[in-house]
Amino acid sequence: MMAQEHAHSSAVERLLNCEVPLRAQYIRVLFREITRISNHSLALTTHAMDVGALTPFLWAFEEREKLLEFYERVPGARMHASFIRPGGVAQDLPLGLCRDIDSSTQQFASRIDELEEMSTGNRIWKQRLVDIGTVTAQQAKDWGFSGVMTVNGFASGLWARRNRMSSPGWSTVRQNRHRLSAIDGT
């Protein structure tokens, strides 16, 4: 997906010491975030399916399909886009795409709220996951936790490398960081 293309392009750009236009940086951020949201929603709802809830997975798959339609509108492909390239992106965004993404986020946000309510508010979910696998900050550090194991960026003072080594385009994007006191199975 496009996040992998970005990793390759960034390496080439660093080797060649070339600048990426600001608009291309923002387009890259946009599609890396669409990739991240798509992947995380499936990962989390697959986990929900593992603990006995099938409906969240089906709903998330429907929402993922909408996100992949945005992929398809830009380079014409869903999985192997070949869109992010060294020096920028293959082409500019089609007219109306940003408007469509914006309107889709409103519906997506309400669907995420429904998924959260269905999952984390569920008695069975809580019985199977709350206070399971709780890890202190010191244990996480001693055991070398990183990335999602530190709750995607911050848990008890541990930051994921992704947040410290920001790529071009991120410096002007507002990010909400969640702070937790411990790492739990939920």
| C-alpha pair distances (Å), 85 with each of 57, 77, 108, 113 | 33, 15, 29, 35
Quick one: average pLDDT of 7-21?
93
Q: Are 82 and 31 in contact (CB under 8 A)?
A: no
Q: Are 153 and 145 in contact (CB under 8 A)?
A: no
Of the candidates 7, 62, 4, the one whose C-alpha atom is nearest the C-alpha of residue 38 is 62
Quick one: average pLDDT of 121-145?
81
What are phi and psi for residue 159, nearest 5 degrees?
-100, 140
Q: Is the pLDDT of residue 23 over 90?
A: yes
Q: Are 36 and 177 in contact (CB under 8 A)?
A: no
pLDDT of amino acid 129 = 82
The residue extents of the domains of the chain are 2-129, 132-186
Q: Is the pLDDT of residue 181 over 60?
A: no
Quick one: average pLDDT of 76-85?
83
Provide CB contacts within 8 A for 65, sequence distance 6+.
none
